[in-house]
Amino acid sequence: MNTPIDVVDLVIAPRKQSLMGLPIRRVLPWRGQRHCGPFVFLDHMGPHTLAPGEGLDVPPHPHIGLSTLTWLYAGQFEHRDSLGSVQIIRPGEVNWMTAGRGIVHSERSPDDERAAESHVEGLQFWVAQPQSAETGEPRFEHHAREQLPTWQDEQASWTLIAGQWQQQRSPVQVESELALLDVRTQRAGSLELPSQGSDWEWGLYPLSGAVQWQGQPLPQYHLGVTNQAVTFSWQADSHFVLFGGRTLGARRIDWNFVATNDALIDQARRDWQAHRFPPVPGDAGYVPYPGND
Residue 103 predicted with pLDDT over 50: yes
DSSP string over the chain: -----S--EEEE--EEEEETTEEEEEEESBTTB--BTTEEEEEEEEEEEEPTT---EEEEEEEBSEEEEEEEEES-EEEEETT--EEEE-TT-EEEEE-TT-EEEEEE--HHHHSS-EEEEEEEEEEEPPTTTTTS--EEEEE-GGGS-EEE-SSEEEEEEEEEETTEE-SS--SSSEEEEEEEESS-EEEEE----TTEEEEEEEEES-EEETTEE--TT-EEEESS-EEEEE-TT-EEEEEEEE-----EEETTEEESSHHHHHHHHHHHHTT-SPPBTTB----PPTT--
Residue 264 predicted with pLDDT over 60: yes
- Identify the burial level of 164 via C-beta atoms within 10 angstroms of its C-beta, where 0-12 means exposed, 13-18 middle and 19 or more buried: middle
Q: 213 and 223 in contact (C-beta within 8 Å)?
A: no
Domains of the chain are: 14-273 (2.60.120.10)
Residue 105 predicted with pLDDT over 50: yes
d(CA 115, CA 112) in angstroms, rounded, equals 5
Mean pLDDT of 244-252: 93
Q: 226 and 8 in contact (C-beta within 8 Å)?
A: yes
d(CA 125, CA 146) in angstroms, rounded, equals 21
Q: How confident is the model at residue 4 (pLDDT cuts 50, 70, 90)?
A: very low
d(CA 234, CA 286) in angstroms, rounded, equals 44
Mean pLDDT of 80-97: 97
Model confidence, pTM: 0.93
Using DSSP bridges, classify how beta strands 178-185 and 200-208 pair: parallel, antiparallel or unpaired: unpaired
Name the residue among 227, 245, 92, 100 with its Cα closest to residue 163: 245
Mean pLDDT of 261-269: 96
- Looking at residue 200, what is its pLDDT? 94
pLDDT digits (tens, 9 = 90+) for 203-213: 999 999 999 99
Q: How confident is the model at residue 7 (pLDDT cuts 50, 70, 90)?
A: low
Q: Which amino acid is at 102?
A: G
